[in-house]
Structure 1
């Protein structure tokens, strides 16, 4: 992770520029600047001008060219940022997301060419990965990965998995009739016939024992691999709370402020983490059972859930099948069938229509009297276990301690 002041790594070394330059096409025309849709007429000339500045010198752009490239990057990012925020996200044109990504790319390259500390260049790469669309064979991901080794690394002390000491309330006692069944490495046929087709939850054991993350992942490891990377963090116990918010910060800042400090509550819930940081994706595997779905492997969404004990996912449902894999820490999880939806009092607003109004562990039965009619299953998900949550099944999750989970959404 990047330190402050003089300890911050700078990009003065010709070797750094050579490594970065090798990620780009050799000839100017090879950097195609292709957009997948129409943008305003003033934008393509700006992109072409930035490309010319980048390739104008035989080697590394001089100070003047680097400064001009930085200014163009600012203009491209600011202009496209307005477009990204002018309409609901699902309506944002991919072309404008690509313009934003190019702006981040040119900005990061200007930082390296100017010989400045590399932390800002990596942050620009991450902003492009989070808010932009992939360009030039996902060059922003490759650029960030190339720059990371040149940044100072540090990790919080105090051990890998026991930093946060705040005690959490124990989970409710699990009654035998409510416990989700466990099964060790079932065949594809058995899982399909007994759980996928009838849509029955099950806890799978032994499936992820061979994943490298089971031996490698810890707080220290995340600092080393991703400490300098900028990610979105959810601040608050649960997303239905009024004070809940989101903020962009580096992984190292998240760990120091929300993992090491027991006075703050924050959660890294990231839908792009494994594309953003491929080193982490190499440590996990897509469960073989996903092949029973209708989509392709590229259609599977992989999510990261990293945070301290006490964070809660309110009772909600998702539109896809879900494998929730527990890497470290424990989680108390309760499941309700979609057949009980009427008894779970979903929010009436469109934004939260998939979320229950009921506080599962402290329900207001005067306000929500039918909640007591809803039957549920529960488990304490342990490291190395994978919970199959059928599509539309309502699920409530509370972290009992510092925890990292990976979920796979598939159809």
Structure 2
């Protein structure tokens, strides 16, 4: 193909991208609403209006510079003090800055991958704007992104077999007397009466077999759908370790560094990936048993847990009921009733008050002597199984293989 033809194709693709993005936006600047409360400084609102004017006037360079100022300033607001105290208005400001910057970038510089990263930052740190437009923009951008070579064409099962030979990960024995009971598709009433009301853990079988993720999900599929997306990754074996930290990276980078080439422990943990990437959400289903709760379906928090063998969630408890669905790999889990709390030595700090100080698989009984009195249940959660973890039930989780789990927190 001649250079002229390549240039024509690129120009045609750019025009097509421009048209698709404009179709997502309000037709006029007046319809591009910028309504904020008094909590957002007037000077920032003025900047947002200026950026909007510049964009609709086609002044991409000036709009890009203004949107970067908006992002930088609102970023400081997001990172001052405790995250829970950050006002939603400032998160919206940040999202608008990300939207305008991403639009200008891909229309001006044709750097689609970086524009997607900017949108993801808005989705991760910002708040929904203009009918969740950032998700729609990313969907358009991904269609125009030329995928490079993936880090791996190896399946998860093949990788797991290789790692089993080299890692010598031992599968813990589950004693018969401590095993979590298993049920095959119990009725709603049976589950409510025998497990939800008395708050007893149980493994549900035959519930997730028909979910598309059970057949579709593999390293290749996850990279195809989400490879270019930016996600938060926990670095370190468990969050109670002093060297534990977090880092932002693309899913491709995460898989390459921590799944295919296991240099260290990295864990995509407790992340609302399915809100960020709705295409993956289509592959899972909310368990029917969640309807027994008091909240609405939109109140259910769905989190992704994706990582190599060896990732650990220390013994801790959560403030909501939990269905933990295992999609890929296996996990070893220990469960302790809230009645055992006096033997579990919770951390005294407010930040970790819901986490035990005890390493349950290698306890320091000199430091924590009462731990020997704690009774527990255990299981190995296999693909297709769903574990019901009652509210405030202590649980310890260790991945035995490359693993992908989905948790549903409900009230």
The TM tier, using the shorter chain, reads over 0.9
Counterpart check, 1:388 vs 2:388:
yes
Pairing of 1:166-315 with structure 2 (within 5 A): 166-315=166-315
SS in 2 for 1:13: helix
Residue equivalent to 1:3: none
Aligned to 1:163: 159
**Cα pair distance change 1:329/1:151, threshold 3 Å:** same
> Runs in 1 of length 4+ with deviation above 4 angstroms?
9-12
1:378 aligned partner: 378
The answer (yes or no) to whether the contact 1:324–1:389 under 8 Å persists in 2 is yes
Which residue does 1:85 correspond to in 2?
79
Secondary structure in 1 aligned to 2:243?
A: coil
Indicate yes or no: 2:122 matched with 1:121. no
| 2:136 maps to 1:148 | no
Q: Distance in 2 between the 1:162 and 1:138 partners?
A: 38
Structure 1 residues without counterparts, runs of 5 or longer: 1-8
State the shift of 1:218 in Å.
Answer: 0.8
The aligned residue for residue 49 of structure 1 is: 50
Report the secondary structure of 2:341's partner residue.
helix
| Distance in structure 1 (CA, Å) of the matches to 2:156 and 2:176 | 34
The aligned residue for residue 39 of structure 1 is: 40
Partner Cα separation in structure 2 for residue 394 and residue 22 of structure 1:
49
1:336-351 mapped onto 2 (5 Å cutoff): 336-351=336-351
Distance, in Å, in 2 between the alignment partners of 1:230 and 1:27 is 31
Q: Is the 8 Å Cα contact of residues 36 and 94 (structure 1) preserved in structure 2? A: no
Please give the alpha-carbon distance, in whole angstroms, between the structure 2 residues aligned to 1:270 and 1:281: 15
User: Given the two structures, how large is their TM-score scaled by the length of structure 2?
Assistant: 0.94
Distance 2:292 2:379 in 1: 25
Instruction: State the 1:103 CA deviation.
Output: 0.3
- Structure 1 position 53, deviation (Å): 1.3
TM-score of the pair, normalised by structure 1 = 0.94
Instruction: Report what 1:409 is aligned to.
Output: 409
Gaps of 5+ in 2: 1-8
Bigger share in helix: 2
Return the offset for 1:10.
7.7
Residue 347 and residue 119 in structure 1: after superposition, are their counterparts in 2 closer, same or farther (change >3 A)? same
Aligned equivalents of 2:80, 2:263: Cα separation in 1: 36
Instruction: Please state how far the C-alpha of 1:37 moved relative to its aligned partner.
Output: 5.5
For the 8 Å contact 2:156–2:402, the answer to whether it is kept is: no
**Contact 1:123–1:230 (Cα < 8 Å) also in 2:** yes
Residue aligning to 2:27 = 26
Q: Distance in 2 between matches of 1:303 and 1:126?
A: 17
Deviations 1:46-75 (A, max 9, x none): 11111111111xxxx3xxx11111111110
Query: 2:14 touches 2:110 (CA, 8 Å); kept in 1?
Result: no
* Distance in 1, Cα, partners of 2:129 & 2:206: 38
* Partner secondary structure for residue 407 of structure 2: strand
Deviation digits for residues 266-285 of structure 1 (CA, Å, limit 9, x no counterpart): 01114321011001001001
Shift of 1:14: 0.1
Give the SS at the match of 2:158: coil
- Residue 20 of structure 1 deviates from its aligned partner by 0.9
- List per-residue Cα deviations over 1:367-389 (Å, max 9, x = no partner): 11110100000000000000000
Match of 2:3 in 1: none
CA distance in 1, matches of 2:393, 2:201: 9
Could you tell me whether the CA contact under 8 Å between 1:168 and 1:401 is conserved in 2?
no
Partner of 1:135: 129
SS at match of 1:136: coil
CA distance in 1, matches of 2:84, 2:364: 35
By how many angstroms is 1:171 displaced? 3.2
Go from structure 1 to structure 2 and tell me whether the alpha carbon gap of 1:296 and 1:353 turns closer, same or farther (over 3 Å shift): same
Structure 1 pair 10/91, CA: closer, same or farther in 2 (3 Å)? farther
Q: Distance in 2 between matches of 1:268 and 1:376?
A: 27
Is 1:231–1:270's contact at 8 Å kept on the other side of the alignment? no
Q: Distance in 2 between matches of 1:157 and 1:251?
A: 15
Q: Does 1:102 align with 2:96?
A: yes
Match in the other structure for 1:14: 15
